[in-house]
């Protein structure tokens, strides 16, 4: 990222892009952003645009689960700060969670289908020769908190985590390592650390979350670039809680980076639209990332465009000279008609001086 200050910052796309197909996402991103984009996700199109909601079908078809009475619906203003629907399945009576297993979750199948398209477009010269195929995966707690009754999340977690790691292993076995990049999407853990979601496990939350993220990161082969998207949620274009500053994510990132056994290649953190103040960015002074780790600040907002991004970049640069740019979260909840302009805005921001 040596040319950033001269107006050539790298760009990161978090994951979801609400276009009709993975092919449309690959083409649109490559055309709009070009070589500033080292990795392109498939957009999590179709059923995956709801992020982890498609996993409800996995639990609905699983013989060990049944619907949680009455329906698991949260009313507005419930304990899930912005009204996320949670916990619609529970273990059937007599099921021992230590003997629980899961089959295919759907993540690997979707990734492999998208990679075939990616490879075709790259061979045709429509995607840059050095661009990698990015697979964005949720940390296992996220689908469980969405799909399983609250008190059973931790009991189900070992079996579901094992299934997610099998999905990862399949992708890593079937996509060439020099074509692949893997991102772990970390949202629910941030909510746990912020006190928004109840902690259902024993031990220090920061230690438990750090250990889980290190385990997931170390599961990615060292020759495959790997990063984390540290997320405050985007339901209804709202965070589950507004971050006071970047202190929490900086502290978590420092611990994870220090404990990983493999390289950490990138880190993406959010920057709310109304935060162009020094207090928000000051914790970046304490960020201790390895030299190979790229930092991406999610400071691009469609609602205030290049002008707002420039304000946030100027303040951030006082605390961290080297960083790339992106949006706060995935784009999946946006109107598809707005996507071409938003992708073009990424390039404008990356080129700004």
Confidence category of residue 82, pLDDT binned at 50, 70, 90: very low
Is pLDDT above 70 for 319? Answer: yes
Which runs of consecutive H residues, i.e. helices, occur in the chain?
A: 22-33, 55-61, 107-123, 141-147, 153-174, 188-193, 205-218, 247-259, 278-281, 305-317, 339-351
Position with higher pLDDT, 117 vs 2: 117
What is the tens place of the pLDDT at every residue in 197-217? 888 888 999 999 999 999 999
pLDDT at 86: 58
User: Which fold is adopted by the domain 4-52+102-351?
Assistant: TIM Barrel (3.20.20)
Cα 67 from chain centroid?
28
Q: Which two tokens stand for residue 254?
A: 């420092």
- Judging by DSSP bridges, how do beta strands 132-138 and 89-91 pair with one another? unpaired
Global pTM value: 0.91
Confidence category of residue 3, pLDDT binned at 50, 70, 90: very low
Sole residue written with tokens 């952003």: 33
User: What CA dihedral angle connects 21, 26, 27 and 32, to 10 degrees?
Assistant: 120
| Residues above pLDDT 70, as percent of the chain | 90
End-to-end CA distance of the chain: 14
Sole residue written with tokens 């075939």: 116
Contacts of 327 (CB under 8 A, 6+ apart): 14, 298, 300, 301, 342, 346
Averaged over 140-145, what is the pLDDT? Answer: 92
Averaged over 106-130, what is the pLDDT? Answer: 96
Would you list the domain boundaries of the chain? 4-52+102-351
Q: Which residues pair with 90 in a beta bridge?
A: 66
What is the tens place of the pLDDT at every residue in 50-67? 888 899 999 999 999 999
pLDDT at 179: 97
Distance (Å, rounded) from C-alpha 186 to C-alpha 315?
Answer: 25
| Residues above pLDDT 90, as percent of the chain | 76
Lowest mean pLDDT among 74-78, 121-125, 278-282, 321-325: 74-78
């Amino acid at each position: 990222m040596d040319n950033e200050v001269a107006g050539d910052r790298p760009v990161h796309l978090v994951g979801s892009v609400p276009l009709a197909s993975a092919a449309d996402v690959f083409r649109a991103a490559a055309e709009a952003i070009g070589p500033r984009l080292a990795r392109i996700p498939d957009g999590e199109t179709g059923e995956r645009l709801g992020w982890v909601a498609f996993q409800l079908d996995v639990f609905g078809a699983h013989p060990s689960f049944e619907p949680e009475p009455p329906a698991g619906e949260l009313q507005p203003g419930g304990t899930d700060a912005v009204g996320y629907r949670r916990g619609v399945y529970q273990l059937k009576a007599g099921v021992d969670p230590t003997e629980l297993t899961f089959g295919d979750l759907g993540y690997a199948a979707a990734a492999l289908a998208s990679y075939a398209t990616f490879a075709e477009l790259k061979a045709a010269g429509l995607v840059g020769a050095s661009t990698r195929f990015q697979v964005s995966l949720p940390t296992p707690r996220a689908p469980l908190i969405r799909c399983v009754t609250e008190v059973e999340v931790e009991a189900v977690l070992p079996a579901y985590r094992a299934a997610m790691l099998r999905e990862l292993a399949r992708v890593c076995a079937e996509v060439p390592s020099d074509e692949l990049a893997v991102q772990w999407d970390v949202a629910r853990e941030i909510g746990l650390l912020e006190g928004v979601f109840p902690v259902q496990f024993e031990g220090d939350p920061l230690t438990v979350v750090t250990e889980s993220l290190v385990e997931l990161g170390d599961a990615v082969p060292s020759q495959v670039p790997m990063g984390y998207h540290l997320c405050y949620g985007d339901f209804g274009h709202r965070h589950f809680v507004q971050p006071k500053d970047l202190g929490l994510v900086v502290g978590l990132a420092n611990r994870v980076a220090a404990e990983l056994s493999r390289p950490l290649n990138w880190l993406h953190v959010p920057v709310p639209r109304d935060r162009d103040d020094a207090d928000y960015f000051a914790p970046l002074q304490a960020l201790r990332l390895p030299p190979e780790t790229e930092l991406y600040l999610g400071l691009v907002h469609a609602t205030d465009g290049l002008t707002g991004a420039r304000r946030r970049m100027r303040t951030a640069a006082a605390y961290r000279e080297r960083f790339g740019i992106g949006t706060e979260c995935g784009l999946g909840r946006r109107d598809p008609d707005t996507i071409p302009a938003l992708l073009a805005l990424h390039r404008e921001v990356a080129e700004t001086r």
